[in-house]
Amino acid sequence: MNNITGIDISIIAPLYNEEQVFSQLIERLQSVIDKTPFACEVILVNDGSSDNTAALIEEICLKDSRFTGILLSRNHGHQLAVTAGLASVRGKQGAMIIDGDLQDPPELVNEFYKLLQQGYDVIYAVRKNRKESFLKKMAYAVYYRLQKKISSFNIPIDSGDFSMLSRRVVDNMSMMPEQSRYLRGMRAWIGFKQIGYEYDRDERHAGETKYSWSKLFELAFNGIFNFSDFPVRIISRLGLITIFFSLIYFVYNVYRKIYYNDVPHGFTATILAIIMFSGVQLLSLGLIGEYVLRIYNQVRNRPLFIVDKIIQDGRENPAGIVSERSKKP
């Protein structure tokens, strides 16, 4: 996408069935961009909503030229909706990514921008607390620390997609063609100068969370399998552990045979050995299958997302964009 020199920062907000919170979101965003000492645009990405979100996006974008609407052809998922926004960034200094449910306060754009001016390329928000159930808090805490331990490079813990990215980080992320996207891992992998900014994460203002447990697990798997070789290495370790215990059991049988002429035998021991070896084999096949599935999705070379309509600069793009692929180097 071409840069408009009058725009400094693009604020990206992916939306999926957010009509209940939409008016509050627009109100706060307008208040923010009215007061910032730098020029902002807001990119609202409709991720195939089934409610009135798309119509609301069209209405505000036709009324206020500072808002750009990208309407995807269907629900592609949060990570690809943000990717569609990144591909449309016109801010010459960079972009800010927020959630459309107002759990990420857009008012922090000024604080993030100050750090951007100090030379940081990535300012990622670190959640000091979560207003969520105890079970989810525990799951997040365990996952982030596990990910940090097994990742091949440092991915900051307790940080989500809420962040500000310099223009060169935006461009580099747009050139990365992963189908199974984990944006917080991608921005960490890019490198450059990065810093965390602690904040209190607000409660969802209205509606329900769009990240079900299954989607959270899918995102977690993308973070593990895309940025760690641990799942592959664990197969070798499981094999070595299995062989080790098998050798111990073999030595035990020889010992019993030589000194007591009594070799342990029985149905229970046989079943236990079969179950253990079968479990290790199936787990190994499952881990390999996760990588094969990602390779299969990648080599199909499909567009990352399909755009149905764009409303920009107060008017609808008559040609639109029928498809969009991550930019190639």
The single-letter DSSP state of residue 93 is S
Which secondary-structure segment (H or E) carries 259?
helix 230-260
Residue 68 CA to residue 70 CA, distance in Å, equals 7
Local confidence band at 313 (pLDDT 50, 70, 90 cut-offs): confident
Radius of gyration of the chain (CA): 25
The pLDDT tens digits for 48-74 are 888 898 899 988 999 988 999 999 988
Asked if pLDDT for residue 322 goes beyond 50, the answer is: no
| pLDDT at residue 118, rounded to an integer | 93
Secondary structure of residue 305 in the 3-state scheme: strand
Percent of the chain past pLDDT 90, that is, above it, reads 18
| pLDDT at residue 210, rounded to an integer | 55
The pLDDT tens digits for 129-174 are 766 666 766 766 676 667 677 677 777 777 788 899 999 999 988 8
Residue 165 CA to residue 208 CA, distance in Å, equals 28
| pLDDT at residue 113, rounded to an integer | 93
| pLDDT at residue 212, rounded to an integer | 59
The pLDDT tens digits for 184-241 are 888 888 889 998 888 877 665 555 665 556 667 667 667 676 767 777 777 777 777 7
Secondary structure of residue 145 in the 3-state scheme: helix
Rounded to 5 degrees, what are φ and ψ at 41?
Answer: -120, 155
Percent of residues in the chain assigned helix, strand, coil, to nearest 5: 50, 15, 35
Q: What average pLDDT is seen over the chain?
A: 79
Percent of the chain past pLDDT 70, that is, above it, reads 77
Using alpha carbons, select from 313, 323, 247, 242 the residue that is nearest to residue 284. 242
Q: Where are the beta strands (DSSP E) in the chain?
A: 9-15, 40-46, 67-72, 94-97, 122-129, 159-166, 194-200, 307-312, 315-316
